[in-house]
């Protein structure tokens, strides 16, 4: 006896429904679920935006009151603590700010003798806001029930200081009605609203806040409790009436909390309608598919069972099953078609397996490449973040010193010794800040491809000695030796870019001195012929400093980081110097190589290719010991025309030049500079040198220089400009300027520049 089985018709209906219903359900219901999620996300975003706006309003409202109180506290009439002088000030404030129901000043005893109103004096010695302000708190706040309005208000107080001591407390009591009105003006759908609590979690603003003679504690309100315990953000909760709410909360700068709320059912109303329609559509689709399947099953006869069994076998992976093809009717045709389908499925399945294996291998390789690329990107982002943080520190550090010591210099009682020391500190920090800015600008020029090389004749020994001399005081302070050794084949003069060569060597030598605590720094110069005219100059800089690990060497020339952020904090610097130096050496046909050992020191080898102009007269190697700084030149007997439109800069440059012995004629624009030449009745040489600011009103430096050159003036004209880009330098030289100097000016460099061009002019003349 065989077990009863379901009919073919039933099984076909069940099979097709099982195959189609999940797909239809997903296709119809998934969009509704996504719509609900989208509506919820949008509502949370709107609530967050509303809470943020209200927080900004609360901050502005609070800061207005705090700023007013601090201004009042600094008023001499208030800080004098004379009630007769204080009352007019308090009345003016009360008249301007009508929402203040209390404006007054209290003595250290708590007695409020000076008030804007005519009320009798009161004692506030037991008030929390008075105790906190008198104790030195910058701003004290307390929500209270106003005796004047018998409604919730806020008292804000700040200490009054005289000669650094607290002599009283100035305070205002302000109504919270306007804050509640601002909150009530914000619409959050039909069911939403916004409320504000103070730092003690007492309700201070609500769109429907009724008059009350008590302060309402909202600490147990779910979003407020979550805000003060776990921080702000989105928060969903159910109230005591079973209503589900969405909320977003933020904290203001004064510690107050802002909560925006909206009922979840309002947010999801549209999604619920979509769900209802989706359910009906799904039910209708299932019913339609079931009816069509049942109608089709009726037309199938029992011989199809053989094909069904074969299909079941194929579905189980039994590819060796074939349906008999003996019949010549429709069933036979179906059997032959089924067998053909089986063959095609088998071939397709095998092809798919091969394709899947191929794609899996490709995906594995692709994933490996993506993981590697992500690691590189994450490392670059981390290095960039560290660079920005370090750059912020490096810029703020000298700026803090400059501002702080500038304030100290304003003290009229400061002794001359301390004034000189403070000025030296300001000058040192200013130069440090300028060096940082120059490094950033140089890196930007290199990255943008705007940095160019300007070859000129360079005396190698003189250049090296200038750099070593400038670093000698720093090395002497640390007790370090600083010496130079020249190989016999080092040429006397080569042709390369002197400014960039000086920048590279100064940066590397400066680093060697900075990172060396004991021992010394040795510079070895040698040269290797490239061809008959060119030499590869090699400068080997060795120190006995802290050294570098192999991992640090790999990161040494990265653009957005230093080899060790902790070392950066200890020794200072932006980490850009080596990057710029490497780029510049490569532009000059060379490179920088490094060898190092932790704790034993480092060796940097710089190579630069240049054309030999003159060779050394001696064929023996020479050595220089510690080199002292060269003395500064003066400008005695020189007549200087200074064109500068800023009076402070004009006074500064004139003072510097006259102090060095020069006679200075100062004018305020380019037209006056031209007139100064014509006023002498001669254009050959009424002045020894012209210092020309390039950005001036009426007639700028470019136009004035062009007109002077057109009139036959051959006097050296040195451009003064705050723009340090290569394009600015070219524009100045194209206008006819002899040379280019960037602001702020270094007195020693300026004197050297003036003397060089005056000597050259006298030699040529």
- Whether residue 678 sits in one domain with residue 600: no
Can you tell me the distance from the alpha carbon of 224 to that of 195, in angstroms, rounded to the nearest whole number? 10
Q: Is residue 409 part of a domain?
A: no
Question: What is the tens place of the pLDDT at every residue in 622-644?
Answer: 444 444 344 345 788 899 999 99
Q: Residues 6 or more apart from 630 whose CB is under 8 A from it?
A: 465, 466, 469
Interhelix angle 577-587/498-514, rounded to 10 degrees, is 150
Q: Residues 6 or more apart from 597 whose CB is under 8 A from it?
A: 547
CA of residue 575 relative to chain centroid, distance: 17
Range from 238-252, 443-457, 726-740 carrying the lowest mean pLDDT: 443-457
Domain boundary among 300, 324, 352: 300
Q: What is the pLDDT of residue 1?
A: 45
3-state secondary structure 249-297: EEECCCCCEEEEEEEHHHHCHHHHHHHHHHHHHHHHHHHHHHHHHHHHH
* Average of per-residue pLDDT across 384-402: 62
- Whether residue 539 sits in one domain with residue 651: no
Q: Is residue 311 part of a domain?
A: no
Q: Residues 6 or more apart from 648 whose CB is under 8 A from it?
A: none
Q: What is the pLDDT of residue 677?
A: 87
- Whether residue 672 sits in one domain with residue 595: no
- Whether residue 508 sits in one domain with residue 610: yes
- What is the number of alpha carbons within 13 Å of residue 537 lying toward its C-beta? 27
- Which of residues 8 and 163 earns the better pLDDT score? 163
Domain enclosing residue 281, as ranges = 7-300
- What is the number of alpha carbons within 13 Å of residue 216 lying toward its C-beta? 16
- Whether residue 118 sits in one domain with residue 258: yes
Can you tell me the distance from the alpha carbon of 386 to that of 561, in angstroms, rounded to the nearest whole number? 6
Range from 109-123, 280-294, 513-527, 748-762 carrying the lowest mean pLDDT: 280-294
- Whether residue 201 sits in one domain with residue 57: yes
- pLDDT grade, residue 277 (50/70/90)? low
Can you tell me the distance from the alpha carbon of 116 to that of 83, in angstroms, rounded to the nearest whole number? 11
- pLDDT grade, residue 71 (50/70/90)? very high
CATH of the domain at 662: 3.40.50.2300
CATH of the domain at 231: 3.30.450.20
Q: In DSSP terms, which residues pair with 521 in a beta bridge? A: 482, 543
Q: In what order do the strands lie in the sheet with 689-693?
A: 663-667, 639-643, 689-693, 717-721, 739-742
Eight-state DSSP code of residue 712: T
Domain boundary among 241, 274, 300: 300
Number of structural domains, the chain? 3
Can you tell me the distance from the alpha carbon of 322 to that of 311, in angstroms, rounded to the nearest whole number? 9
DSSP string, 556-586: TT-TT--S-HHHHHHH---S-HHHHHHHHHH
- Whether residue 701 sits in one domain with residue 618: no
- Whether residue 676 sits in one domain with residue 616: no
Do the Cβ atoms of 151 and 145 come closer than 8 Å?
Answer: yes
Q: What is the mean pLDDT of the chain?
A: 80
- Whether residue 619 sits in one domain with residue 643: no
| Nearest in space to 705 (alpha carbons), one of 697, 682, 716 | 716
CATH of the domain at 599: 3.30.565.10
Residue 201 backbone class (left: φ over 0; alpha: ψ -120 to 50; beta: rest)? left
Q: What is the pLDDT of residue 625?
A: 41
Q: Is residue 357 part of a domain?
A: no
- Whether residue 682 sits in one domain with residue 607: no
Task: Give pairs for 216-225: CB < 8 Å, separation 24+.
Answer: 221/259, 223/247, 223/249, 223/259, 223/261, 224/197, 224/249, 224/257, 224/259
Q: What is the pLDDT of residue 402?
A: 76
- pLDDT grade, residue 619 (50/70/90)? very low
- pLDDT grade, residue 223 (50/70/90)? very high
- Whether residue 601 sits in one domain with residue 463: yes
- pLDDT grade, residue 158 (50/70/90)? very high
Q: What is the pLDDT of residue 628?
A: 38
* Average of per-residue pLDDT across 35-56: 86
Q: Is residue 513 part of a domain?
A: yes
Domain boundary among 300, 318, 335: 300
Kind of pairing, strands 114-115 and 100-106?
A: antiparallel
Residues above pLDDT 70, as percent of the chain:
75
Question: What is the tens place of the pLDDT at every residue in 555-587?
Answer: 777 655 554 544 444 455 556 777 778 888 888
By three-state DSSP, how is residue 305 classified?
A: helix
Q: Is residue 361 part of a domain?
A: no
Q: What is the pTM of this model?
A: 0.38
């Amino acid at each position: 006896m065989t077990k009863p089985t379901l009919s073919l018709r039933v099984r076909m209906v069940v099979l097709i429904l099982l195959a189609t219903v999940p797909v239809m359900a997903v296709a119809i219901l998934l969009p509704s679920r996504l719509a609900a999620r989208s509506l919820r996300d949008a509502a949370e975003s709107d609530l967050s935006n509303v809470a943020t706006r209200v927080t900004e309003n609360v901050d502005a409202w609070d800061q207005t009151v705090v700023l007013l109180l601090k201004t009042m506290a600094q008023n001499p009439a208030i800080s004098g603590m004379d009630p007769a002088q204080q009352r007019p000030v308090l009345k003016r404030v009360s008249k301007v700010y009508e929402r203040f129901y209390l404006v007054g000043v209290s003595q250290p005893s708590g007695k409020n003798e000076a008030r804007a109103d005519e009320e009798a004096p009161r004692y506030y010695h037991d008030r929390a806001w008075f105790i906190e302000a008198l104790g030195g708190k910058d701003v004290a706040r307390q929500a209270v029930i106003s005796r004047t309005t018998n409604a919730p208000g806020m008292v804000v107080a700040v200490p009054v200081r005289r000669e650094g001591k607290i002599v009283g407390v100035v305070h205002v009591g302000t109504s919270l009605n306007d804050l509640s009105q601002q909150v009530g003006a914000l619409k959050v759908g039909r069911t939403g609203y916004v409320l504000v609590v103070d730092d003690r979690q007492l309700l201070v603003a609500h769109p429907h806040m009724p008059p009350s003679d008590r302060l309402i504690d909202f600490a147990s309100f779910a979003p407020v409790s979550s805000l003060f315990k776990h921080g702000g953000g989105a928060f969903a909760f159910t109230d005591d009436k079973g209503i589900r709410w969405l909320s977003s909360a933020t904290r203001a700068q004064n510690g107050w909390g802002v909560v925006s709320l909206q009922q979840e059912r309002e947010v999801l109303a549209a999604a619920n309608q979509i769900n209802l329609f989706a359910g009906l559509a799904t039910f209708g689709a299932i019913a339609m598919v079931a009816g069509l399947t049942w109608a089709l099953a009726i037309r199938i006869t029992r011989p199809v069972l053989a094909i069904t069994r074969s299909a079941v076998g194929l579905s189980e992976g039994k590819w060796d099953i074939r349906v008999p093809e003996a019949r010549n009717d429709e069933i036979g045709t179906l059997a032959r078609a089924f067998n053909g389908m089986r063959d095609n499925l088998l071939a397709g399945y095998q092809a798919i397996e091969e394709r899947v294996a191929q794609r899996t291998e490709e995906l594995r390789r692709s994933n490996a490449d993506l993981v590697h690329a992500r690691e590189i990107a994450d490392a670059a982002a981390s290095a960039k973040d560290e660079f920005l943080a370090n750059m912020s520190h490096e810029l703020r550090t000298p700026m803090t010193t400059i501002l702080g010591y500038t304030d100290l210099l304003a003290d009229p009682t400061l002794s001359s010794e301390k004034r000189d020391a403070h000025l030296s500190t300001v000058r040192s920090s200013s130069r440090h800040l300028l060096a940082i800015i120059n490094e950033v600008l140089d890196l930007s020029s290199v990255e943008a491809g705007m940095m160019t090389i300007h070859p000129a004749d360079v005396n190698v020994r003189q250049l090296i000695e200038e750099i070593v001399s400038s670093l000698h005081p720093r090395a002497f302070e640390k007790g370090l030796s600083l010496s130079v050794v020249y190989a016999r084949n080092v040429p006397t003069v080569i042709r390369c870019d002197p400014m960039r060569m000086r920048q590279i060597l100064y940066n590397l030598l400066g680093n060697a001195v900075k990172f060396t605590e004991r021992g010394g720094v040795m510079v070895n110069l040698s040269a290797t012929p490239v061809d008959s005219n060119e030499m590869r100059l090699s400068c080997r800089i060795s120190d006995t400093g802290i050294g570098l690990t192999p991992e640090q060497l790999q990161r040494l020339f990265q653009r957005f980081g230093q080899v060790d952020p902790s070392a950066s904090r200890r020794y200072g610097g932006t980490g850009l110097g080596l990057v710029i130096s490497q780029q510049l050496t490569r532009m000059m046909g060379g490179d920088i190589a490094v060898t190092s050992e932790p704790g034993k020191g480092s060796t940097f080898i710089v190579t630069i290719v240049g054309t030999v102009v003159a060779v050394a007269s001696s064929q023996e190697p020479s050595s220089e010991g510690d080199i002292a700084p060269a003395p500064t030149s003066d400008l005695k007997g020189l007549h200087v025309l200074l064109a500068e439109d800023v009076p402070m800069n004009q006074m500064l440059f004139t003072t510097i030049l006259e102090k060095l012995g020069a006679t200075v004629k100062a004018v305020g624009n380019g037209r006056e500079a031209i007139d100064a030449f014509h006023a002498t009745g001669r254009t050959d040489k009424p002045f020894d040198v012209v210092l020309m600011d390039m950005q001036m009103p009426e007639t700028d430096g470019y136009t004035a220089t062009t007109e002077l050159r057109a009139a036959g003036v051959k006097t050296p004209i040195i451009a003064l400009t705050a723009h340090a880009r290569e394009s600015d330098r070219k524009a100045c030289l194209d206008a006819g300027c002899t040379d280019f100097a960037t602001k702020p000016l270094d007195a020693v460099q300026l004197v050297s520049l003036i003397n060089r061009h005056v000597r050259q002019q006298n030699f040529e003349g």
